[in-house]
Amino acid sequence: MYLFIRTCFLLLLLHTLAAGAAGRTERKNVLFIMADDLRTSLGCYDDSVVKSPNIDQLASKSHVFLNAYAQQAVCAPSRISMLTSRRPDTTRLYDFNSYWRVHSGNYTTLPQYFKSKGYFTMSVGKVFHPGIASNHTDDYPYSWSIPAYHPASYRFEKEKMCRGEDGKLHINLLCAVNVTEQPGGTLPDLESTDEAVRLLKSRANSHDPFFLAVGFHKPHIPFRIPQEYLSLYPLDKMTLAPDPDVPKLLPPVAYNPWMDVRKREDVQKLNISFPYGPIPKDFQLRIRQHYYAAVSYVDSQVGRLLSALDELQLTNSTVVVFTSDHGWSLGEHGEWAKYSNFDVTTRVPLIFFVPGVTTNCNQWKTSAFPFIDVFSQSDHSFSNDKVVRNMVELVDVFPTVSHLAGLSAPQHCPEVSFQKELCTEGHNRASTFRFREGRRDEEGVAFSQYPRPADTPQVNVSDVHAGELYMLEDDPSQDNNTYNSIFSDSDHTVVMKKMASLPPTVRLQMRMKLQLCYLTAGMKTSGGKA
């Protein structure tokens, strides 16, 4: 297991053997939007390249968490962790191969909780990870009032749909297409948006509140997107990652060779050396171009959803949540994948719109979220003082959105909680909606983890193979591993003895936090804190 803990000043990784803001007088609807593999490449997160006017418009009227982290940078484990508010070590899901209700515990999900409170719950697209990880039903009927919707065109995602330079169809990484030439003349996220709008219309006049979750498939690979979005990002304007090389002191166990990218036909033609590459620079630029184009494509679908909410006069009664399951490396550290614990893969957007709380509904002249056509108005100036810079986690989403919608937030789980159906291993962040953020929380931490190859994922925190320590004040890109230059073997031995003396009921993330404190006791950063 590859363990990772970060504070506002530094970040520690160890590699072990792996085999209330609003008054709750009225229940609000919830529109829960999740992208797939979307890092914080959005205008509202200070990305100067991307064109994301609709999401930026949402963020301008919302509460924006600037430093939100996924608990694992893999789809199924992250989604199950967020939707149950349990960490991967509780769900026992580190891959795609088990159903948590059978494998670990009958934990209540976010939509299931809303359903139990009288909400009509609906799922469109990729919300739970499909397959055995959600019992081949997207956890229906536990989580949803009706069977989950999946776009019919998604079945072509892994087939030869990408026309190459030879005029033939291939299974490529880069797959910008003419939508009219695709089966059915559509793409998965276009279909999902259509269905989500249809469901919103069906609930517009209902007396019962709804919880609608919409999961977009992009910017997940392959980049099978409408080809016109590439025009937003001319290749001569694209740049390489600022730190494209594998860090010299990166432990081999911390590197992932991005096999899912390598198996694509257009990448295979490049004959890239294994495991470190690198990919030719001209192809790197094209990958980055396609990723950003995929983000703008998703942004347009978000804009369609939000404008429909306006047109149906549902905005004033609906909490909107926008997030992602995890990020994706675009060449940073020589990586082209998720599958790591660097910030580019674990840090995600997290945006909450709460009518009457994050914005004054009376200030809207016509509508809150008019659709912005990215091709005619690609830039939207993000302006918002309702931002939170302190670290939060995706396990915080369940209790926070419950509170904001008018329900009671689940209580925090006891130390031993494997059999408890309803509780949270996160924190209710609704209190941060009351006031502007003050000082930095120097004790705040975020915990992410990633399993290393084995027949079955295992956790053995006593068998440490390597360590990483990044001083984020001076090294925000996490390129300089200082672990071995700061800590001696004797320091490590002493800490391991202290850790071994802890009671077995102490959670893994608490062990990591204590380990970080032990190892860095007395250290000073440029900010003057250990």
Query: Tokens 């990483």 correspond to what residue?
Result: 468
Question: What would the two tokens of residue 45 be?
Answer: 């997160």
Segment holding 469, helix H or strand E: strand 464-471
* Cis preceding linkage at 183, omega within 30: no
Q: How many other CB atoms are there within 10 angstroms of residue 207's CB atom?
A: 4
Task: Evaluate whether 99 touches 133 at the Cβ level (below 8 Å).
Answer: yes
- Residue whose C-alpha is closest to residue 370's, from 304, 318, 312, 323: 304
Question: What would the two tokens of residue 70 be?
Answer: 């996924």
Q: Look at the alpha carbons of 294, 78, 214, 343 in this order and tell me if their dihedral is positive or negative.
A: negative
Phi, psi of 234 (to 5 degrees): -55, 140
- Identify the bridge partners of residue 6 per DSSP, sorted by sequence position: 11, 446
Quote the Cα angle for 370-185-195, to 5°.
50
User: For the residues of 106-174, what is the DSSP string, one character each?
Assistant: -PPPHHHHHHHTT-EEEEEESSSPSSGGGTTTTTTTTS-SSPPB--GGGGGTTSS-EE-TTSSEE--SE
- Name the DSSP letter for residue 280: P
Residue 75 annotated in active site: yes
Residue 129 annotated in active site: yes
Choosing from 8, 44, 63, 129, the catalytic residue is 129
3-state secondary structure of 342: coil
Backbone angle region of 473, left / alpha / beta, with phi > 0 → left and psi within -120 to 50 → alpha: alpha
Distance, in Å, from the CA atom of 39 to the CA atom of 65, rounded to the nearest integer, reads 13
Choosing from 8, 15, 63, 75, the catalytic residue is 75
- Identify the bridge partners of residue 333 per DSSP, sorted by sequence position: none
Question: Residues with catalytic annotation?
Answer: 75, 129
